């Protein structure tokens, strides 16, 4: 199998990771080239594809035309397909030892299990890339809001539906990162293979998977915390307004009663 894979891909080839949707249903996909996850299959005439359940597809030695055809053929297997996909590229070449360089990934041999390790790392990296962009936008909105709250608190727009939506988006993003994408967990295929485990650790460090994940979690905490604080302030303001209305009604009743007493 190793010789066959190397013959198809050569000693230097491109790999592309694409975040296509929220989830990919990999059940029933055959023939698989490995019994271990992630699912890896051949793509005619000369490439391979790894399908990760958390929504990423990683393609080895496949040109852009084949790529579009393959992604279209996935059809309904992709749940909540994105209109705009996130993509990441890398060059893989054969070398004396497994490792990573600023301009690419080095593998000791072109094999299925090493391709699966590469796919795990690039899949996680491209998912992190999407959330870094989305959460970054929300994070950048916090500073002007905080400045407005400090300088002009009476002019802050207290829009509860937007605040609730922002909290929901932060919770959903956290669920995707921690649960579905399993960013912080090692794949099963490396558990009993020390060589693959070392390769995975090198790539994980090169792509700063853990550091980026931790940074995203901190930003998520700030975004959701800010939204919750504003929601609480909004609810407090509403409660105060209600109390003012009640006091106003009571005063109106007192004035009305006094007026009736006077005119009598």
Give the pLDDT score at 172. 58
CB 158 within 8 A of CB 230: yes
**37 and 106 inside one domain:** yes
Number of separate domains in the chain: 2
Higher-scoring residue by pLDDT: 8, 40: 40
Residue 140 belongs to some domain of the structure: yes
Does the predicted model carry a pTM greater than 0.85? no
Residue 68 belongs to some domain of the structure: yes
**136 and 232 inside one domain:** yes
DSSP H helices in the chain: 2-9, 64-74, 112-140, 142-151, 160-175, 194-206, 209-263
Residue 123 belongs to some domain of the structure: no
Residue 148 belongs to some domain of the structure: yes
Give the pLDDT score at 237. 56
Mean pLDDT to the nearest integer, 175-190: 70
**186 and 225 inside one domain:** yes
CB 114 within 8 A of CB 56: no
**Confidence at 264, pLDDT banded by 50, 70, 90:** low
What residues make up the domain containing 201? 131-263
Residue 121 belongs to some domain of the structure: no
Give the pLDDT score at 73. 92
Residue 98's alpha-carbon distances to 40, 48, 191, 230, in angstroms, are: 20, 20, 17, 50
**96 and 142 inside one domain:** no
Percent of the chain with pLDDT over 90: 39
Which residue among 83, 111, 139 closes a domain?
111
The helix or strand, by DSSP H or E, that contains position 79, with its residue range, turns out to be strand 78-94
Q: Poorest-confidence range of 40-44, 49-53, 144-148, 225-229?
A: 144-148
**Confidence at 187, pLDDT banded by 50, 70, 90:** confident
**246 and 163 inside one domain:** yes
């Amino acid at each position: 199998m190793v010789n066959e894979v190397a013959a198809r891909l050569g000693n230097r080839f491109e790999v592309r990771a694409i975040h296509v949707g929220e989830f990919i249903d990999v059940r029933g996909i055959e023939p698989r080239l490995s019994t271990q996850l992630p699912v890896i299959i051949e793509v005619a005439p000369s490439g391979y594809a790894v399908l990760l359940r958390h929504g990423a597809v990683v393609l080895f030695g496949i040109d852009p035309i084949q790529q579009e055809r393959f992604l279209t053929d996935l059809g309904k297997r992709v749940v909540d397909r994105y209109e705009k996909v996130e993509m990441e590229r890398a060059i893989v070449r054969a070398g004396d030892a497994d490792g990573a360089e600023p301009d690419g990934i080095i593998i000791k041999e072109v094999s299925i299990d090493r391709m699966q390790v590469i796919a795990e790392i690039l899949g996680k990296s491209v998912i992190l890339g999407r959330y870094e962009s989305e959460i970054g936008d929300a994070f950048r909105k916090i500073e002007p809001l905080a400045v407005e709250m400090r300088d002009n608190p009476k002019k802050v727009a207290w829009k509860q539906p937007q605040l609730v939506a922002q909290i929901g988006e932060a919770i959903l993003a956290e669920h995707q990162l921690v649960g579905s994408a399993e960013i912080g967990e090692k794949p099963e295929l490396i558990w009993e293979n020390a060589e693959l485990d070392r390769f995975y650790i090198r790539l994980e460090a090169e792509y700063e998977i853990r550091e980026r994940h931790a940074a995203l979690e901190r930003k998520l905490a700030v975004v959701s915390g800010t939204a919750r604080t504003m929601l609480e302030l909004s609810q407090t303001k509403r409660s105060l307004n209600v109390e003012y209305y009640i006091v106003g009604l009571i005063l109106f009743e007192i004035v009305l009663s006094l007026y009736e007493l006077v005119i009598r």
